[in-house]
Amino acid sequence: MLTCPNLPPVTLVMDPRDDAAHTRAALAAHSLPKGRATIHPTPGTDSTLILALDVLAALGKPVPLTGYWRSDLFPAWTLCAAWILALPVTDLTVLRAHLLHARGLADLLALRACTGVRLTLVCHHRRPPAVLERALARTEHQLVDAEAVLSEQGESADDEGSASGALRGRWISLPALTTLLSWEDSPGCACTAPPTGECGFAPPALPDLTTKEVARRLHTGTAHPHLAAQLATACFTAASMSQLDTARVRDAALDGGTITLHDAHNVRQGCMTHTVPPWARPLLQAAVFAHLLATDTSSGKLFTDPFDARRLPRLTDFAEQLKLRPPQPPRPKRRKNTCRKLSPPTVWPLSNAHHYLPWFMPEDMKGCPQPPGHKPKRAPYGML
């Protein structure tokens, strides 16, 4: 991995009495919106993979990490670095540091060197163990007392609630996903695509409450940034799978502000550069960072896994796991005194609403409504 310049020194916090108040304060200081993460390593193991999963869990990602061999540590630690850079997390506090083994400490220091995060190691012993002293021997560090550091962090922590609680556990119908399925082939190109405003294209907008809940589900639904970024891009661009497949790493701005999707054959609306909403930018950035850290190149496809993960869900299956779907066909009215039937499977329509020549492309809506603003066009005279 790359090394950040001007790294802050590692802070070694000594808590010889293992004061429960200090541990509670460190855990209470955990706040991803404020850039702070606290890791409580899994006890009774010296596995560095488990330590990486502990870091991912503290970053709000589901574990265990699927798709990779358990003996391969590179994907897990690289994804830790990608998410830390993208969220971004500036302060990383690790409790029970006196129980960590040499390899785990080395991986934490490598993560610090790659991301530039301020690393705090809390040692609940009278003096640092020999393993910890050797790990910090060639690393700039400072020794501080737990009373001075952890108490201040606990006092500054606050309770972070979610404004999208009303939508928790419910299906969310997104008109932008109506045009996700496609049969056409959209090869990528190296053009400089105009912004969507110049093309007169406006994908369906999301209400604020729905946006917050969709963002929460995407951030907590997977540790694979390319999956979360791909579905997020479909939600704010109304792009098809074929258009999403054209995006290269270089097509996404490093700050996550824009994403270019190509349409070299002008099957849909042509190549366009979309503005990424603030809620989706960390997801796009994490996907970009994962590719750059893993391959050191920007020529790969953005929405593919840089580590060649196996058995990951398809995009539509991933959307259903998060309870996101296009608007569904109207359900028949239930007769009185009849049992309520199970919810039918999600219907994914084939829509030509955003095609340049809608009458030329077949569609199969399967009873689903078209996205807002769709105006059907008739075929020109002579083709009826």
Tokens 């369906």, residue located: 204
Could you tell me the two tokens for 198? 């110049």
Nearest alpha carbon to residue 67 among 311, 286, 253: 311
Position 216 scores a pLDDT of 95
Q: How many CB atoms lie within 10 A of CB 87?
A: 19
Distance CA 27, CA 21 (A): 10
- What are the tens digits of pLDDT across the range 293-352? 999 999 999 999 999 999 999 999 999 999 999 999 998 776 766 666 677 899 999 998
Distance CA 148, CA 276 (A): 41
Position 377 scores a pLDDT of 66
Position 157 scores a pLDDT of 45
User: Do 33 and 143 touch, CB atoms closer than 8 A?
Assistant: no
Q: Cis omega (within 30 of 0) on the bond before 313?
A: no
CA distances from 215 to 133, 163, 322 (A): 42, 12, 11
Distance CA 89, CA 37 (A): 7
Rg (Cα) of the chain, in Å, rounded? 24
pTM above 0.85, yes or no: yes
pLDDT tens for the chain, residues 1 to 384: 567 788 999 999 998 888 888 888 889 999 999 999 999 999 989 899 999 999 999 999 999 999 998 889 999 999 999 999 999 999 999 999 999 999 999 999 999 999 999 999 999 888 899 999 999 999 999 998 877 666 555 444 444 445 567 788 899 999 999 999 988 877 778 888 999 989 888 888 899 999 999 999 999 999 999 999 999 999 999 999 999 999 999 999 999 999 999 998 888 888 999 999 999 999 999 999 999 999 999 999 999 999 999 999 999 999 999 999 999 999 877 676 666 667 789 999 999 888 887 777 788 999 999 998 777 766 665 554
Enumerate long-range contacts of 60-67, CB under 8 Å, 24 or more apart: 60/32, 60/219, 60/220, 61/220, 61/222, 61/223, 62/220, 62/221, 62/222, 62/223, 63/223, 65/223, 66/309, 66/311, 66/312, 67/224, 67/305, 67/307, 67/309, 67/310, 67/311, 67/312
User: Do 51 and 94 touch, CB atoms closer than 8 A?
Assistant: no
- What are the tens digits of pLDDT across the range 49-76? 999 999 999 999 999 999 998 889 999 9
Position 148 scores a pLDDT of 67
User: Do 316 and 180 touch, CB atoms closer than 8 A?
Assistant: yes
User: Do 272 and 195 touch, CB atoms closer than 8 A?
Assistant: yes
